[in-house]
Homo-oligomer: A and B are copies of this chain.
Amino acid sequence: MSQKPSLHTVLSPQLLHLYNCNNATVVIIDVFRATSTIATALHNGAARVIPVDAVDKCIEIGKQVNGITAGERDGKIIEGLQYGNSPAEYPRSFIEGKTLVLTTTNGTKLLHMALAAGASEVVTGSFPNLSAVCNFLVQQKKEVILGCSAWKDRFNLEDTLFAGAVIHQIKEHFTIHCDSSLMAEQIYLLHKNDMFTHIRQLTHWHRLAKFGLEKDLEYCVTIDVANVLPRFKNGALLAN
């Protein structure tokens, strides 16, 4: 019987260096809302999504690739960009065939850290593409790091809930000696049937709901409504 590959959950970018990313598949998780929006745009036919960590880069790359520039601060579109961070802004009628240049802070930082740490594959995960992520990880049979983007490096529950959902689906295929993963699955099982209620307690909910984003956040914890696998290749995320 062959040894099952390991799976670990990393609760903050600040903890990534404690884990061996070399040759691993790293799943970047940024549930509210970057990775949910990425899955949605690609599911609706976007040619690719280029994640960037700064507004000036977003504008520059947007011009180079003739792409749609997007990014928010405090619930409003950032000056100089065209669209926001909401998955609802990217229906097929609008985004199909286009390149989205998306400004994210927490998720993009983690993505570049994972590449620098030697990850052989980087994909993005969110509830809207849960099954696509799970199927890919099981099929790859490689070591897995579930990387929570967190909020300015502080632990957050929504990314942890998604890590727990993945673990619950695929744990039989992996060796898991990791308290973060045990915790994530327990928290997910505790709330999987009251997700819409539970997210109203989270610190990030309080940050975003005041901008009228309740529907957005509910969408972001809805399973498989944009079930595509965003894989990072040559600087962009593409639907698998």
Contacts and interface: CB of A to CB of B under 8 A. Distances in A.
A86 to B, nearest CB: 22
Given A14-B14, A187-B187, A190-B186, A179 B157 contact: yes
A123 to B, nearest CB: 23
A183 interface: yes
Interface of A is mostly: helix
A18 B153 contact: yes
Interface in A181-210: 182-183, 186-187, 190, 201-204, 206
Range for the number of chain A residues in contact with chain B: 20 to 34
Q: Find the residue from A12, A160, A178, A204 having the highest chain B CB count within 10 A.
A: A12
A176 to B, nearest CB: 9
A154 interface: yes
A15 B203 contact: no
Interface in A106-138: none
Contacts of A206: 177
B152 A18 contact: yes
A152 B19 CA distance: 11
A18 to B, nearest CB: 6
A181 to B, nearest CB: 9
Nearest to A156: B179
A190 B189 CA distance: 11
A105 interface: no
17 contacts: A11-B11, A12-B15, A14-B14, A14-B15, A15-B153, A15-B154, A18-B154, A154-B180, A157-B182, A177-B203, A179-B202, A179-B203, A179-B204, A182-B203, A183-B187, A186-B190, A187-B187
